[in-house]
Structures are given as C-alpha cells and as structure tokens.
Structure 1
Amino acid sequence: MQKLKDFIKKYYEGLAYLFFGGLATLLNLVVFAAFQAAFGTAFAAGIGNVLDNIICILFAYWTNRTFVFKSTNTGKAILAEFGQFVSCRIATMVMDQVIIWLGISVLGPVVSFSSANPQLWAMGVKLFSQVIVIVSNYVFSKLLIFKKK
C-alpha cells in the first residue's frame, strides 16, 4: 500500500492531468456527439466544435488550476494565468478545428468507408484530434501557464 502512495505522490501531477484531461476529453466528445445528433455533422464540426471547446476550456482551467497544478495565484496573477491558459487553449482549439476540417471536409470524401457512416468517421476524426490537443495542452500548461516559480 505504501508503494502505491509513493507512486501517486511522485507522479501525482501527471496522473491528475491524465484523469482530468480524460474527463475534459470525454466532455468534449460527448458535447460534439450531442451537437452532431441534434444538429448534424456540419454544425458539430463547425460552430458546435467552437462552442464545445469553449465549454471544455472553462472546465479544464478550473480542474487544472485546482487539482492538477494546484495554482495559488491571486489578484492580477490569476488574471494573467487565466489569460495565458485561454490563449494557449485558443491555439489548440484552432488546431482542433483545422484537424476536424481536414479530416471531415477534405479527407472524408476521399476515404471510401467514411461515406458508409459519416457520423462515425467524424467522431473518429474528433477523437484523433483530441489526442493531439491533449498532449499540446499539457505541454503549454506545464511549461508556460502553471510553471513552478
């Protein structure tokens, strides 16, 4: 039992990021799927994806600040931290949007099996995009936003 406690203590930040990043990714995929089911793939891949990302950015900031990196910033420092977080997440949102557009609008029509089930193809593209985004977000968070002083 002590070995498990030591392991968790040693790797807490990475484990917490994986857990809460996983929750944020799950939230992202669920909202994307809900938009897709309610309004269609075109909406989910466009405006819906932007709205989806905004929801997830707010959720991720709260969980990263509170549970993962345990930031203690207050006052102007918290505003700067939030600004950096949102700026980096907007960058990865743009990356997500480009991957979604390329995967669904450009590559989708070329790949024959994507026409058999376009919703499933879109969800696969979204999942692929989330892997790229979560790794990028960790690097931004660790090196730029919540760096230890």
Structure 2
Amino acid sequence: MEKTITTLYSKYGTAFLYLVVGGLTTLINIVLFFGLTHLSMPWFWANIVAWFLSVLFAFITNKKVVFGSADMALRTLLKESISFFTLRGASLLADTAILFVGLTLLNGSPIIVKIIDQVVVIALNYVFSKHIFA
C-alpha cells in the first residue's frame, strides 16, 4: 500500500494531494452534517456549520499541504480566503437547494440526498475553479 501511494505521489504529485484533501473535505462535510443533525440541529444550520468547517479545512490544507504556500501575510491570507470562500459559497447555494428539495419537499433519505448533494457540489466546485476563477 505504501509503495502504491509513493508511486502515485511521484507520478501525479499535487493532483494526488488535491484529490486526497478533496475526499477528506467531503468526508468531513458529511460526518459533521450527520453528527449535528443527530444532535437535533435543523438540517439547514447543520449544513452551514458542516460547510464552513469543511471549507476551512480545505483552505488550510490546500494552502499548506497541497500547494506548499509559505506566505502567511495577513493581506495574502485575507485575499486568498475571501476568494476561496466566495467560490465555495456559490456551490453552497446549490448545496442548500438540493437539501431543501430532497429533504423537505421529497422527504428523501438524508444519507442518499447528502451523497447526491456532495456529488453535485464537487462537480460545481470543479467547474467554478476551472472556468470562472482560473
């Protein structure tokens, strides 16, 4: 297993780390959402908290681990974080709409709706990153 990871990293480097961080970000979002809703937090607020904390994790790990940025100047951090959170905020709107339709209007299974939601959010984040903020 370790050899496989090392081989993938040497071949794909940054892209591999980006995928790992993205997977962990999605996992954090789903786990937080379900944890908070099981603690009786309404789905809307659970989603906002899960979104914020998972995006914060993604910002920090992408900056430090994936891209190895050492620039921690306040001005740089503010500029980068505002751009990153704004981009992810656009997909939060779709995220909330999907959950509203799936959970409130269709009374869907929370796990199925959240997984579908995350697939759409990942696709939107990719499109936004590639075509809007490229």
CA distance in 1, matches of 2:6, 2:53: 33
Q: Which has the higher contact order (CA 8 A, sep 6+)?
A: 1
1:83 matched residue in structure 2: 82
Aligned AA (2:117): S
After TM superposition, the score normalised by the length of structure 2 is 0.81
Matches within 5 A, 1:132-147: 132-141=120-129
Q: Deviations over 1:94-134 (max 9, x none)?
A: 111111111111222xxxxx4xxxxxx11111111111212
Q: Which runs of 5+ in 2 are unaligned?
A: none
Residue from 110, 117, 120 that aligns with 1:129: 117
In the TM superposition, residue 7 of structure 1 has moved relative to its aligned partner by 4.5
Give the 3 Å change call, closer, same or farther, for CA 73–134 of structure 1 in structure 2: farther
CA distance in 2, matches of 1:3, 1:28: 27
CA distance in 2, matches of 1:22, 1:9: 19
Note if contact 2:8-2:16 (Cα within 8 Å) is conserved in structure 1: no
CA distance in 1, matches of 2:131, 2:62: 13
Q: Which runs of 5+ in 1 are unaligned?
A: 109-113, 115-120
The size of the alignment, in residue pairs, is: 132
In the TM superposition, residue 50 of structure 1 has moved relative to its aligned partner by 0.6
In the TM superposition, residue 26 of structure 1 has moved relative to its aligned partner by 0.9
Matches within 5 A, 1:50-129: 50-75=48-73, 76-108=75-107, 114=108, 121-129=109-117
Supply the RMSD in Å over aligned alpha carbons: 2.7
CA distance in 2, matches of 1:8, 1:49: 32
CA distance in 1, matches of 2:129, 2:117: 18
Range with bigger deviation, 52-61 or 68-77: 68-77
Q: Percent identity?
A: 32
CA distance in 2, matches of 1:143, 1:13: 19
CA distance in 2, matches of 1:134, 1:34: 21
Note if contact 1:85-1:141 (Cα within 8 Å) is conserved in structure 2: no
Question: Higher Cα Rg: structure 1 or 2?
Answer: 1
1:20 matched residue in structure 2: 21
